[in-house]
């Protein structure tokens, strides 16, 4: 991962999230969340861009590199999701086609968005079982790491997991809870998102496996997360929401689920204690 300026996600007095602080610190303008100025196109309303040869080459390189790294490291739910969505190295997927496949699998659809979304727009979409995705891909100079969202991270990292029913339900519950969060709860939910959706691990009968998109789409994080270099703690919603993290460095501490049903039940219990549902 690029060793840019360190940003820890400890809470500022005004309860800022990590990306809000990143924007203020001027780390990368693409990390400044944008607001939608109207409804985002969803499903078959999405028109695919005309990708360049460089775009297609970058997708192929990234897809092949990650797929070579993931055997014995990625969780079954992710591997099954890649297969069921028909992802290959030869073509950048169409968001409209992927949306139809995901709707059949778990009732989720896709929206095309311009970049990192403001949290209210983001939460509004996922609370309605709509995943917001970019449709542009990182440049050749950022193949190892980009701090901004791109379609490789969104498609390859996130979408396969949304074909897993329990995880798909959790993510909708997350969006619904986040719509009601204020102050410290916002930061706690950001940490929950980070250590599950982006940097989550799960224990399977064949060992510790990755399901978080931030790990799955990153060369450095894949090699680091299940190598024994990161401290891996049992998942606990109460502990996760108190765990600070850094955005631009390899993760020193991660949490492992026993199952996705555990994620659903613990998150529901936590949101009940917080009055978020």
Give the predicted TM-score (pTM) of the model: 0.88
> pLDDT (tens digit, 9 = 90+) per residue, 136-169?
999 999 998 887 789 999 999 999 999 999 999 9
Lowest mean pLDDT among 55-64, 68-77, 96-105, 114-123: 114-123
For the chain, give the percent of residues with pLDDT over 70: 90
pLDDT of residue 274: 96
pLDDT of residue 25: 59
Of 95, 93, 86, whose CA–CA distance to 113 is shortest? 95
- One DSSP character per residue, 128-180 reads TTEEEE------GGGSS--SS--HIIIIIIIGGGGGSHHHHHHHHHHHHHHHT
Would 1 be classed as within a structural domain? Answer: no
pLDDT of residue 141: 93
> pLDDT (tens digit, 9 = 90+) per residue, 194-232?
999 999 999 999 999 999 999 999 888 998 999 888 999
Would 184 be classed as within a structural domain? Answer: yes
For the chain, give the percent of residues with pLDDT over 90: 79
N residues, the chain = 277
- CATH number for the domain spanning 191: value is 1.10.800.10
pLDDT of residue 277: 80
Residue 90, classed as helix, strand or coil, is coil
Would 98 be classed as within a structural domain? Answer: yes
Would 206 be classed as within a structural domain? Answer: yes
> What does residue 230 show for φ and ψ, rounded to 5 degrees?
-90, 140
Side-chain-facing half-sphere of 17: CA atoms under 13 Å: 22
Round the average pLDDT of the chain to a whole number and report it.
90
User: Structurally, how many domains does the chain consist of?
Assistant: 1
Would 13 be classed as within a structural domain? Answer: no
Would 43 be classed as within a structural domain? Answer: yes
Would 78 be classed as within a structural domain? Answer: yes
Would 239 be classed as within a structural domain? Answer: yes
Here the tokens at position 217 are 């789409």
What's the domain range around 256? Answer: 18-274
pLDDT of residue 62: 96
């Amino acid at each position: 991962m690029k060793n840019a300026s360190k940003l820890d996600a400890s809470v500022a007095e005004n309860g800022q999230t990590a990306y809000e602080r990143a924007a203020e610190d001027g780390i990368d303008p693409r990390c400044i969340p944008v607001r939608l100025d109207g409804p985002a196109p969803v499903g078959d309303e999405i028109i695919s861009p005309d990708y360049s040869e460089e775009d297609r080459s970058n997708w192929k390189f990234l897809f092949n590199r990650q797929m070579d790294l993931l055997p014995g490291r990625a969780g079954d739910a992710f591997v099954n999701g890649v297969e069921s969505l028909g992802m290959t190295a030869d073509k950048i997927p169409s968001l409209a086609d992927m949306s139809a496949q995901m709707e059949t699998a778990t009732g989720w659809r896709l929206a095309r968005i311009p970049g990192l979304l403001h949290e209210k727009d983001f939460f509004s979409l996922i609370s309605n079982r709509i995943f917001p995705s970019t449709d542009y891909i990182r440049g050749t100079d950022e193949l190892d790491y980009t701090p901004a969202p791109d379609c490789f991270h969104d498609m390859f990292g996130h979408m396969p997991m949304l074909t897993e029913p329990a995880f798909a339900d959790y993510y909708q519950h997350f969006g619904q809870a986040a719509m009601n969060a204020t102050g410290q709860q916002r930061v706690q939910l950001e940490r929950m998102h980070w250590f599950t959706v982006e940097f989550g691990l799960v224990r399977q009968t064949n060992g510790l496996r990755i399901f978080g998109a931030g790990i799955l789409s990153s060369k450095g994080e894949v090699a680091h997360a299940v190598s024994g270099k990161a401290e891996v703690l049992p998942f606990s919603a109460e502990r996760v929401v108190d765990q600070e993290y850094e955005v631009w460095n390899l993760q020193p501490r991660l949490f492992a689920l026993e199952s996705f049903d555990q994620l659903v039940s613990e998150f529901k219990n936590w949101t009940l204690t917080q009055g978020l549902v």
